[in-house]
A and B are shown apart, each in its own frame.
Chain A
Amino acid sequence: MSLLDKFDEVRATRESLGPIDPTRVVVERMLSATRAMIRGRETLLAGTNNYMGMTMEPSAIAAGQQALSVAGTGTTGSRMANGTHEAHRLLEAELAAFYGYPYAMVFTTGYAANLGVLAALVGPGDAVMLDAHAHASLHDGARMTRADVYTFRHNDPENLNARLRRLGEQAKRTLVIVEGLYSVTGDLAPLAAITEVTHQHGALLLVDEAHSVGVIGEGGRGVVEVEGVLDSVDFVVGTFSKAFGTTGGFCVSRHAELNLFSYCSRPYMFTASPSPATVASTRAALRLLRDEPERRVRLTKLCARLLSGLRQLGLSVNDMPTPVACVELPTREKALAAWNALLEQGVYVNIMLPPATPGNASLLRLSIGAAHTERDVDELVTKLGAVLADLNA
């Protein structure tokens, strides 16, 4: 058996995906923050993470253009070498102030932030306790650390309590990891209860707010704000590639040790730092997320409209209006058929297939953003309803 034989299975899986491979969709041209040309057709984008419509925000674009002309196309170096510009430091200070924490650290991607923070925080002899639905980057980061890795039942503080109890003394050397808003199902973590249980056992808590920073909470500080635990969580990580509309990742904390992570975090050390244009656009987006809460009010109304529409279709949805909703289909084949039919009708959504889904379900993931209109939401619901009706006919 050669190294290449394993790709026979990959090839077979790919061929089972139907006429259009959902992983190979090409956006031929962006028309706005919410519409693009795909397969030669104007398409409503209802499967991106552009929750606040920041990708086309004029001030963020202008800031990036200005930085590009002044500071160049890239830094060509790690933050530990020549890759720290004044703008990186300013972004960190602004992020820390946004959360009201003393310390912040910026990474090149959200994935690197998760890997980098875990690599610095835990090692052999320590433990990581992950929510069962936590993102792949958190599982990857946990495995990299050589710590003992455990999982607890999704959003279940009682189960977390039982599992930390079983660890005995090791609980004090345990990092509990949860997400604020779960990116596939759109549900929120019960952070108040999880924080209390974690600290009862002497463990530390890391919350990944990738899909909630800038989106959830009156001040846009995510589920930690909504749940009233800003003062007690230990580490918050997030990404700029969703609400901020750029790329990059961060960690903020009330612990001074965060300032020492750079010395023991290989994913931080051995990557070129974010480009000047990316940092400038991110800073501009942060200002808007901080100073214009009305954007979140508008998004919340659109989310409520989406959930109401989905309920009218007879679909089961979350109670809390978040920009992510998922529709479960009975089989993988039906999910693929629905996804293809929606794209043919000019609506792009995400498709999630087993084994990468909670409960092994076949899901369509819908997401909307502040740049969508009420008509966009109605179009999404109407076309989804028609496609599902056709499938059930």
Chain B
Amino acid sequence: MTDIEQQLSTLLGHITELPAAFGPDSDLIEDLALESVQVMEFVMEAEDHFDIAIAQDRLADVRTLAQLASVIEKIRGG
């Protein structure tokens, strides 16, 4: 895992129990069965942790931790 993925994994662990097989390419909806309210809470946690703003439309194609980490990297990189 990259550093951002590791931090996101820790944040996600506060919201739901992560299975042993969970990895950066696991599907947040299919594998973790996250509800939409939990996804919103996770994104807000990530925004506060990284001190960034993530518009909802940037999440349209995000299914995994790795994809969310990529979005965050792009926002932080300007």
Q: Which residues of A contact B (CB under 8 A)?
A: 127, 132, 143, 148-153, 159, 162-163, 166-167, 354-355, 357-360
Contact = CB atoms under 8 A, between A and B. Distances in A.
Interface residues of B, number: 17
Contact of A151 (B38, B44, B51, B52): B44
8 contacts: A148-B57, A149-B56, A151-B40, A163-B53, A166-B52, A166-B53, A354-B37, A357-B37
Given A132-B44, A163-B47, A149 B35 contact: no
B3 interface: no
A150 B56 contact: yes
Contacts of B37: 354-355, 357-360
Interface of B: 35-38, 40-41, 43-44, 47-48, 51-57
A74 to B, nearest CB: 37
By secondary structure, the B interface counts as: helix
Contacts of A151: 40, 43-44, 56
A127 B54 CA distance: 11
Contact of A360 (B38, B43, B51, B52): B38
A322 B13 CA distance: 36
Shortest beta-carbon contacts, A-B, top 9: A355-B35, A148-B55, A149-B56, A166-B53, A355-B36, A360-B37, A355-B37, A360-B35, A167-B53
Given A354-B37, A357-B37, A359-B37, A149 B55 contact: yes
B48 A162 contact: yes
A148 B36 CA distance: 18
Given A143-B56, A149-B56, A149-B57, A166 B51 contact: yes
Contacts of A152: 44
Contacts of A359: 37
A143 B54 CA distance: 14
Nearest to B15: A360
Given A149-B55, A152-B44, 4 more contacts: A127-B55, A132-B40, A148-B55, A149-B57
A263 B36 CA distance: 35
